[in-house]
Amino acid sequence: MENKDPPNGESAHHHQLTKKPRLTRFITESEIREEFAHHQSGIARINNGSFGSCPGSVLAAQRKWQLKFLQQPDDFYFNTLRKGILHSRTLVKDLINADDVDEVSLVDNATTAAAIVLQQIGRSFADGKFHENDAVLMLHCAYEAVKKSMQAYVTRTGGSVIEVQLPFPVNSDEEIIAEFRKGLEKGKASGRKVRLAIIDHITSMPCVVTPVRELVKICREEGVDQVFVDAAHALGSVKVDVKEIGADFYASNLHKWFFCPPSVAFLYCKKTSSSSDVHHPVVSHEYGNGLPIESAWIGTRDYSSQLVVPSALEFVNRFEGGLDGIMNRNHEKIVEVGKMLAESWGTNLGAPPEMCAGMIMVSLPSRLRVMSQDDALRLRSHLRSNYGVEVPIHYQAPRKNGEAAVKDKDGFIMAYARISHQVYNTFEDYCKLRDAIYQLLDDPQISKKLFAE
């Protein structure tokens, strides 16, 4: 009799979740050091926000999945892969409080998730379902890949883009909400409709936790067709409850703050959305079987990063308080070291602590004379090459009136360091950054050469 297995990633099988084991003790500092012993020594890795981090135990689990596939690919495909991906999707469904596992798809990263959502919007423009110049709204500091997807799928098919200018430095949620309302008014001008609003849960650069629930609520009140929350940094940084947030689409990486290896993310598609027209950009033989199934097989590739979600959750649960405990401690530590740096340099934070998660913006002394984005990139490279410090640098352009938003004792501040805190970080990592900036300030010739061009 022919095997009637469901399509890859199908949720028809009854799936029993493994019970959370009761720990007799929590992970120790020495065990944390061992889990991340593969990190290059001597480097202050205070940039978890860009690429995340994966502990040794999860990497070992990934290697087992990779070998299992290579040992017998056919058996792996027909009897193992779909069940493993379903298990991971089910765990994610519980982590984000979704109603149904079929609302959760696993994809490579948040960039892929954005492409999926924006392709759907682009098709609607191309098919004449939307009027020309109907709008898609986004924050001006949206991730650059999302902006490129907007060019590729929306503007070329007749849609217009409204960018909301996020204030920075920012002092309150109300400042963001006020600018967001202005953007919606602009998007609806001349009888246009806002077909999609893209809201960052945590902006990437500069990094700020936005009042996402309030912004989604405003979209509903103002008649926006669909809302997509780009939450690339969210899972593992802040509480994620997709029902409470209320968006049509919500995407977050699992390799940034949830300890999975690159690359895996989830895309939540609310069942009430017009999800039948949402497809994976890579078309395989699963096309038309629903996004979760399409995403679970896009041809022969390494699916191991999607299969180790249970192992990442096991690692998380070794910490006191589990994921919530990690998030709270990362937040407390990043605020502590952020304030330490700001006080040491005589500068300020880019946002109040309550608007930060595991990352925070700290302004750099104006005496560094970072006057452009190219200067910021050169400073970042110099810190990496000469001081063993890995940290992104943000150039904050002057306001239209020619002035920057804030000053220190020497002039206008136009550069910020975005620092991250993850479980492997130590206080000494941030001291390395502090002292590196001191050295640059003490030797003006270095800064002069660094920013000469």
Per-residue pLDDT tens for 213-236? 999 999 999 999 999 999 999 999
Question: Are the CB atoms for 326 and 423 separated by under 8 Å?
Answer: yes
- 19 pLDDT above the threshold of 70: no
Q: Could you tell me the sign of the dihedral formed by the alpha carbons of 149, 252, 59, 293, in that order?
A: negative
pLDDT of residue 181: 96
> What confidence category does residue 420 fall into, taking pLDDT thresholds of 50, 70 and 90?
very high
| Structural domains in the chain, sorted by start | 83-313 (3.40.640.10), 322-450 (3.90.1150.10)
Q: Within 13 Å of residue 318, how many CA atoms lie on the same side as its CB? A: 16
**pLDDT surpasses 70 at 372:** yes
Task: Read off the pLDDT band of 15 (50, 70, 90).
Answer: very low
Report pLDDT digits (tens) over 313-351.
999 999 999 999 999 999 999 999 999 999 999 999 999
pLDDT of amino acid 414: 93
| Average pLDDT of the chain, as a whole number | 92
Using CA atoms, how far apart are residues 251 and 278, in angstroms rounded to an integer? 14
Assigned token pair, 201: 């849960």
Residue 449: the pLDDT is 76
Q: What mean pLDDT comes out for the span 195-206?
A: 96
The whole-angstrom separation of Cα 248 and Cα 333 is 33
Position 173 scores a pLDDT of 97
Q: What is d(CA 324, CA 217) in angstroms, rounded to the nearest whole number?
A: 25
Q: Which of 273-282, 288-297, 399-408 has the highest mean pLDDT?
A: 288-297
Residues in contact with 447: Cβ distance below 8 Å, sequence separation at least 6, in sequence order? 367, 368, 369, 440, 441
Q: Over range 188-209, report the average pLDDT.
A: 94
The Cα-based distances of 79 to 14, 32, 88, 269, 286 in angstroms read 15, 35, 16, 27, 17
Q: Are 254 and 312 in contact (CB under 8 A)?
A: yes
Amino acid identity of residue 21, one-letter, is: P
Is residue 17's pLDDT more than 90?
no
For residue 112, what pLDDT is reported? 96
